[in-house]
Amino acid sequence: MDLRQLAALVAVADTGTFSAAADHLHTVQSNVSTHVARLERELGVTLVDRAQGRLTEEGEAVVARARRVAAELEALVADVASLRDEVEGSVRMGVIGTTGRWLMPHLLAGMEEAHPKVRVGVLEGNTTALVPHLVGGRLDLAVVNLPVTDPDVTVDLLFEEDLLLVAPTHHPLAASDGEVTMSELAEHELLLPPPGASIRVDLDDAAADAGVSLRSKAELDGMRLMASLTLEGYGAAVLPSSAVPGWLEGEWVRRPIRGVPRRRVGIGRRRRGLPSAPARALTEVIRRVVTERAGELPGVRPVDG
């Protein structure tokens, strides 16, 4: 088994065909086919179903491991380069949208100043989508909502954030003064994350403690989309405070909620393997930016790390 065989299989997985994989690797199709065939003979299994044009179950397993191998090799090269002089190399991070909106401008500027030779790639998404990319080696780290239950991921807490009711001015909940209770929320259909999403788990637990159940008008796996629909007047939602910053005004109101826990946001990484020098540098800058900037945002409370 050699790295060219693994790279060929990953390219087939990413592009969908042997010919497209060859173009991606800047080689000819026969080379890709040969590498994959040799890998299959060595492992004693079929990795690509040629008739269906997709990976077999064994192929999926090998590709997942091959991505981790590639990530470790990149980390090795970056670590050695960083020992010679300053930190250099590439790092890929994921970030949830509501946090990325205020974090990324300061983070990218901070990396340019502190580590100008590090190339940062950013993927925005929800926690549900980012965790598989992290486990599969496509990301080196990710800023995500807690809890994350995947056993291959470890998460260190960055900050906690208040959850608020945001309702269009015409909505019955907008007439409430002061705190809104879980019982009041349960009287109306809300825009909610899908069951199993981290914030939905916290909301359902808080509702159960109050002896009620929340009802959904729509289930949306994305806080920025949920905030957009709410601010456009489609319905009321429970949102993190940073999704509706103080400078943003419109025909809607914010209300605190009694008995609901704060959202928790942290830095996730793969449990196995050591983070590369660029990933460690990026983590340090993330923590510094959160400490310096999060306190300026109402409802956001940095956590000592």
In the predicted model, is pLDDT for residue 106 greater than 90?
A: yes
- 73 vs 20: which has the higher pLDDT: 20
Q: Are 227 and 239 in contact (CB under 8 A)?
A: yes
Residue 12: per-residue pLDDT: 86
pLDDT band at 52 (very low <50, low <70, confident <90, very high): confident
Q: What is the mean pLDDT of residues 30-52?
A: 86
pLDDT, tens digit (0-9, with 9 covering 90-100), for 271-301 = 887 788 889 999 999 999 999 987 788 889 9
Q: Sign of the CA dihedral 9, 13, 19, 24?
A: negative
Q: What domains appear along the chain, each with residue ranges and CATH number?
A: 3-69 (1.10.10.10), 86-160+264-302 (3.40.190.10), 163-261 (3.40.190.10)
Which residues lie below 8 Å from residue 36, measured CB to CB, with a gap of 6+? 5, 8, 9, 12, 18, 47, 48
pLDDT, tens digit (0-9, with 9 covering 90-100), for 121-177 = 999 999 989 999 998 888 999 999 998 989 999 999 999 999 999 999 999 999 877
Residue 81: per-residue pLDDT: 63
- 246 vs 33: which has the higher pLDDT: 33
CA atoms of 57 and 289, how far apart (whole Å): 42
Q: What is the mean pLDDT of residues 13-42?
A: 87
In the predicted model, is pLDDT for residue 268 greater than 80?
A: yes
Residue 220: per-residue pLDDT: 92
pLDDT band at 83 (very low <50, low <70, confident <90, very high): low
In the predicted model, is pLDDT for residue 1 greater than 80?
A: no
CA atoms of 203 and 197, how far apart (whole Å): 10
**Identity of residue 49:** D
Residue 204: per-residue pLDDT: 94
CA atoms of 250 and 85, how far apart (whole Å): 51
Residue 305: per-residue pLDDT: 53
Percent of the chain surpassing pLDDT 70:
96
Averaged confidence pLDDT in the chain: 88
In the predicted model, is pLDDT for residue 227 greater than 80?
A: yes
Residue 235: per-residue pLDDT: 94
- The residues that bridge with 23 in the sheet, in sequence order, are none
